[in-house]
Amino acid sequence: MRLEAVELRVVELPLRFPFETSFGREETKRAVLVCAYADGLAGWGEAPVMSAPLYNEETVETAWHVLRDFLVPALLGQPVEHPRDVRHRLRFVRRHHMTKAGLEAAVWDLFAQRRGRSLRNLLGGVRDRVEVGVSLGIEPTVADLVRRVEAFVAQGYRRVKVKIRPGWDVEVVRELRRRFPDLPLQVDANSAYTLDDAAVFEAMDEFGLLLVEQPLAEDDLVDHAKLQARLRTPVCLDESIVHPHDARKAAELGSCRVVNIKPARLGGLANAVETHDVCASHGMPVWCGGMLETGIGRLANLALASLPNFRLPGDLSASDRYFHEDLIEPPVVLERDGTVRVPTEAGVAPRVRRDRVDRVTVRRECLRP
Ligand code: OSB
Ligand code: MG
């Protein structure tokens, strides 16, 4: 197929409640959406970049610039045989993984529609439903966090992840454990610590956490290996794994025992599948993380999470955990058993509500060959 036009949009949706991590606080969800046109079809993708370069180096502005001036021109008007080829065609631009993932996802969506096949089917998924959890930010007080956890557990979420940072860690987790002794619980530090803080993680070892996510610097597989050697709790890497070969290195070094797979962080679904396979070959379980995606990115993540080595619940909550109104219909909903259904439609587009996308669009540009 040949991409005839690509439309870029910046969207802004209010979050139902602010999301605070060790690197910052978000009250509004911004993202860049990519809509690619070919053969009378429209394919949608989301680049879940943030407003500020705090999680990685990308922002809404860099994604716009790199898509408009480099990535989209490299594909427009050219034949694209398979969405798996897109990553090779975009490799001339270094990094900008979340940006590339948005464009690649739009091509996957076109391809799924043309073939009349679901993304699950195209990616090699094997499940109808996936177990999901909820990721909760830092709250003003521990009592506020406890109330949030109670509310999500009551809704049926099976595991809870809480953000930690220096000063909001051991005592917070101790209190959560006291209140919820059997709850599958994990923490995410978003790189807020160094190896000098190992005692913090040793103290948390007694709480039976499922894992501790990205405790140390993103570029430090060596210190993560030293930390993992001192803990019973599995270390899970997020920010550190930006390419399938990072997963191999982390496995060989013993830097982690679990990997969080986010297609966006890895530059798209093809790299995400490859990372899944690398981890499987090392006997290392993975789970699907998130970047507060709208339904457009979330449906693709759900398809990915149906692959066999996704063995822990994902950060793939229902639409109403994030937004009053999602961009897709029907929205993502939580089933009574704490799972979410894997989409069976041919691609994402059949569920996209263009009228809602239009309402939240704050910037738009259509690119042609
Ligand atoms: O580190 O996993 C993270 C959101 C934005 C940036 C980084 C992270 C997160 C989350 C949210 O934890 C996961 C979700 O989409 O629910
Ligand atoms: Mg994380």
On whether both 81 and 27 belong to a single domain, the answer is: yes
Distance 213 CA to ligand 2 centre (A): 6
158, pLDDT greater than 90: no
List the catalytic residue out of 29, 100, 161, 163.
163
Average pLDDT of the segment spanning 276-283? 98
Distance 5 CA to ligand 1 centre (A): 31
Q: Among 135, 165, 259, which residue has the most ligand 1 atoms within 8 Å of its CB, making it the best to mutate? A: 135
Distance 55 CA to ligand 1 centre (A): 9
221, pLDDT greater than 90: yes
On whether both 164 and 108 belong to a single domain, the answer is: no
Distance 171 CA to ligand 2 centre (A): 20
On whether both 225 and 358 belong to a single domain, the answer is: no
Distance 29 CA to ligand 1 centre (A): 12
The CATH number for 11's domain is: 3.30.390.10
Q: What pLDDT score was predicted for residue 361? A: 98
Across 160-253, the runs of DSSP E, i.e. the strands, are 160-163, 185-188, 212-213, 235-237
Give the whole-angstrom CA distance, residue 112 versus residue 344: 11
Ligand number with the minimum distance to the CA of 297: 1
Three-class secondary structure assignment of 303-353: HHCCCCCECCCECCCCHHHHCCCCCECCCCCCCCCCEEECCCCCCCHHHEC
On whether both 155 and 277 belong to a single domain, the answer is: yes
Q: Say yes or no: CB of residue 238 within 6 Å of ligand 1.
A: yes
Q: Say yes or no: CB of residue 133 within 6 Å of ligand 1.
A: no
Q: Say yes or no: CB of residue 290 within 6 Å of ligand 1.
A: yes
Across 1-101, the runs of DSSP E, i.e. the strands, are 5-21, 24-38, 41-47
Q: Say yes or no: CB of residue 55 within 6 Å of ligand 1.
A: yes
For ligand 1, atom 4, the nearest C-alpha belongs to 291
On whether both 39 and 186 belong to a single domain, the answer is: no
- Bridge partners (DSSP) of residue 77 are none
DSSP reduced 3-state for 290: coil
On whether both 281 and 355 belong to a single domain, the answer is: no
For tokens 């690119």, the residue is: 367
The CATH number for 209's domain is: 3.20.20.120
**What are the pLDDT digits (tens) for 231-262?**
999 999 999 999 999 999 999 999 999 999 99
What's the number of domains the chain is made of? 2
On whether both 245 and 136 belong to a single domain, the answer is: yes
Q: Say yes or no: CB of residue 294 within 6 Å of ligand 1.
A: no
132, pLDDT greater than 90: yes
Give the whole-angstrom CA distance, residue 182 versus residue 216: 27
On whether both 219 and 264 belong to a single domain, the answer is: yes
118, pLDDT greater than 90: yes
Q: What pLDDT score was predicted for residue 279? A: 98
pTM of the model: 0.97
163 is catalytic: yes
Distance 262 CA to ligand 1 centre (A): 9
**What are the pLDDT digits (tens) for 332-353?**
999 999 999 999 999 999 999 9
Distance 225 CA to ligand 2 centre (A): 18
On whether both 260 and 299 belong to a single domain, the answer is: yes
- Give the nearest ligand 1 atom to 214 CA: 1
On whether both 62 and 97 belong to a single domain, the answer is: yes
Ligand number with the minimum distance to the CA of 237: 2
Q: What pLDDT score was predicted for residue 178? A: 98
Report in angstroms the alpha-carbon separations of 202 from 169, 172, 180: 12, 15, 20
- Give the nearest ligand 1 atom to 163 CA: 12
Q: What pLDDT score was predicted for residue 367? A: 98
Q: What is the DSSP string of 90-110?
A: TTTS-S-HHHHHHHHHHHHHH
Q: Say yes or no: CB of residue 297 within 6 Å of ligand 1.
A: no
Average pLDDT of the segment spanning 351-363? 98
226 is catalytic: no
In this structure, what token pair is assigned to residue 280?
């499987």
Domain range spanning residue 269? Answer: 121-348
Q: Say yes or no: CB of residue 240 within 6 Å of ligand 1.
A: no
In this structure, what token pair is assigned to residue 138?
């830092």
For ligand 1, atom 12, the nearest C-alpha belongs to 135
Q: What pLDDT score was predicted for residue 41? A: 98
Give the whole-angstrom CA distance, residue 215 versus residue 9: 34
Q: Say yes or no: CB of residue 188 within 6 Å of ligand 1.
A: yes
For ligand 1, atom 6, the nearest C-alpha belongs to 291
What mean pLDDT, rounded, does the chain reach? 97
On whether both 104 and 126 belong to a single domain, the answer is: no
Q: Say yes or no: CB of residue 98 within 6 Å of ligand 1.
A: no
Ligand number with the minimum distance to the CA of 138: 1
Average pLDDT of the segment spanning 219-233? 98
**163-316-220 Cα angle (round to 5):** 45
Give the whole-angstrom CA distance, residue 176 versus residue 325: 30
Phi, psi for 130 (deg, rounded to 5): -125, 145
On whether both 109 and 255 belong to a single domain, the answer is: no
